[in-house]
Amino acid sequence: MKRSTLCQLGAGLLAYLLVGQAWAQTQCPAGGIVGTTRVTGDLAALLSGKTMCARNANHRWQEFHKSDRDLIDYKMGPNHAMDPTEKVGTWSTVNGSNATVTHNYLGGTTYTWQVCKTSSSPDLYMLISTQGAPTLTNVTLLNGQVPCP
């Protein structure tokens, strides 16, 4: 093979790997649902500037992931007199094959999650705790600091 052909193949492979890494996915770990894949790319890019909507039997979350890494609970909205939007902690991510998002709440409680994407809907995610908290299904991400439906 000519050197230029090898260079083109090498450049093409490198481009493929770089693009693929941005949203690479692997099977979700134990606790995941069949038909889900774990997001292993840049979780900060996925979450930054978005409100994460989640609920389980006892709780409802609508937390905005600010680009400065503040975690904001929308509550009843920024202008609500009784239950206004407020900072509840910070968030951070670890990328790679074991990618996680961590929510550090004011007062000391910390939760770390693996993020899984469902194949049934392009807008649904699942959070699987690395510390034994319940798995959250039907998690959605909304653009901006907005209330969840």
Whether 1 is in a domain gets the answer no
Beta-carbon-side half-sphere exposure of residue 52 (alpha carbons within 13 Å): 24
Q: pLDDT digit string (tens) for 21-79? A: 333 345 576 555 667 788 888 899 999 999 999 988 888 899 999 999 999 999 999 99
Whether 8 is in a domain gets the answer no
Whether 7 is in a domain gets the answer no
Look up the domain containing 104 and give its range: 26-143
pTM score: 0.76
Whether 15 is in a domain gets the answer no
Q: Give the count of domains, the chain.
A: 1
Whether 148 is in a domain gets the answer no
Whether 83 is in a domain gets the answer yes
